[in-house]
Chain A
């Protein structure tokens, strides 16, 4: 069974059509990286998967549930879809511990002890157990992003969405976040990742999707899309990304 199935997805902001009919699937356990120039619609596509953006038309089916159906409890569906943002979006007024426990407690109605145990387990996974009682403002960007990953994982999602998770980070902090994501991928998490990190896409992704101007131009294994692109637009983009300044 496929985890994510997107059918003829369109999304417009006013008269601007950002997604012009997207079809693709993410199989359970797969890691799919979405690459493409800015403005190509890749972030919008990702945000449509958990309905942070309401699609104009088309279907978004996650774990067999069509999220575009108005009768679907979107809050319940989102519990199973973790999301990591470019700007981390940790809750700055809460400690790291509370950031990771608040949704468990308020949404999943877990008991205090269990919330704490799950929080510690996931913070250990991202290597930040010692920051349990720190506030987000006291952490580096890379640490904040790892806490954000732990916060999403604490909900036991079946799918993780990453929206340019390393784009707001200083270069020396990118590695720690990518390492956590790599471990997650090896553990079999289904992941949909919008990224500019070509190295990560090449090494970790099962499939790479290249988007441009609201459509999917190329979709295939990384050794094809990145190493041997079939379309001129893909080649042009990769040239600029892999050899900037040339």
Chain B
């Protein structure tokens, strides 16, 4: 008879591993797998070729300073103009979804479904065909206008859903308080509801800016001149010119230069809002 029959769990079980020991072994195995994979990849890679193809300083130097003065600058312009348009149309769609006029709700809901369901690329391919539907119509601003329109149409669908969530997150009592003070519906929306909704949706809207920044690479399908080139096309063109992929890598790094800090800002805003609740 064992003296501690009622306390078996705390007793070292002879032969079998305790959960903590098993966990330690499991961790050891994971480290082992990681090391093996890294060593194998390092052994298989042709380091000389990698340096020559991807980190070719000479080729990289050829892209300067056009990379920043033209390509990055255009990427930023396309993104921001598209964002402003998406913001305005998105807010309008979100308000239409709350309209008491049913067709407005249907149009807004249909828009969101269609433009979220389509690849952004398809929309860019269609933009050039717009004059066929409206004879004589030209998107003002040439490629810049078309880019703003394309990116705006796509991001509006996503931003509409974000705004809708933000508007719904404002307590009902806010509208009631505003109306009880004699404010007409529109005035209450503009002065009381929308400012609060926008505060709520700033973090997701910052994320949308990151997404749009990347989507701006689709502008290359509009057919751009050398002066209108953005980062992705710039990298690709340079890579063909020098028969070396280094410029593509440089373009990629330039995207990260913007997207990583922006993503960080979005997370910070989110955390701050979470703490304020």
Contacts and interface: CB of A to CB of B under 8 A. Distances in A.
Given A93-B195, A93-B196, A103 B176 contact: no
Interface in B163-188: 171, 173-174, 176-184, 187
B192 A52 contact: no
A82 B182 CA distance: 9
Interface stretch (A23-31, A72-80, A178-186, A221-229): A72-80
Interface stretch (A83-91, A169-177, A189-197): A83-91
A78 B177 contact: no
A64 interface: no
B191 interface: yes
A91 B176 CA distance: 11
A27 B88 CA distance: 49
B181 A89 contact: no
A204 interface: no
A148 B177 CA distance: 9
A24 B178 CA distance: 27
B181 A155 contact: yes
Contacts of A107: 181-183, 187
B180 A91 contact: no
Contacts of A89: 171, 173-174, 176-177
Nearest to A76: B182
Contact count band on A: 20 to 34
Interface in B133-186: 171, 173-174, 176-184
B20 interface: no
A81 B180 contact: yes
A106 B176 contact: no
B195 A151 contact: no
A151 B181 contact: yes
A216 interface: no
A52 B176 contact: yes
Interface string A133-165: 000000000000000100110010000000000
B183 A106 contact: yes
A152 B176 contact: no
A106 B171 CA distance: 22
Contacts, number: 59
B3 to A, nearest CB: 54
Interface residues of B, number: 18
B199 interface: yes
A78 B181 contact: yes
B51 to A, nearest CB: 55
Contacts of B184: 75
B208 to A, nearest CB: 22
Contact of B187 (A79, A90, A106): A106
Interface in A39-87: 50, 52, 75-76, 78-79, 81-83, 85, 87
A78 B180 contact: yes
Given A106-B191, A107-B187, A87 B173 contact: yes
Contacts of A76: 182
B101 to A, nearest CB: 18
A52 B180 contact: yes
B272 to A, nearest CB: 14
A188 interface: no
A79 B178 CA distance: 11
A137 to B, nearest CB: 8
Nearest to A85: B173
Interface hub of A93, A108, A151 (most chain B Cβ within 10 A): A93
A93 to B, nearest CB: 5
Nearest to A90: B177
Given A89-B173, A107-B187, A83 B180 contact: yes
A78 B192 contact: no
A111 interface: no
A79 to B, nearest CB: 4
B85 to A, nearest CB: 26
Interface string B24-62: 000000000000000000000000000000000000000
A92 interface: yes
Interface of B: 171, 173-174, 176-184, 187, 191-192, 195-196, 199
17 contacts: A75-B179, A78-B181, A79-B181, A83-B177, A85-B173, A89-B171, A89-B173, A89-B176, A89-B177, A91-B174, A91-B177, A93-B195, A93-B199, A102-B192, A106-B183, A148-B177, A155-B182
Given A78-B180, A89-B176, A93-B199, 19 more contacts: A52-B176, A52-B180, A78-B181, A79-B181, A82-B180, A83-B177, A83-B180, A85-B173, A85-B176, A85-B177, A89-B174, A90-B177, A91-B178, A91-B196, A102-B192, A103-B178, A106-B183, A152-B180, A155-B182
10 closest cross-chain pairs (CB), A and B: A79-B182, A89-B177, A103-B181, A83-B180, A89-B173, A78-B182, A107-B182, A75-B182, A75-B184, A93-B196
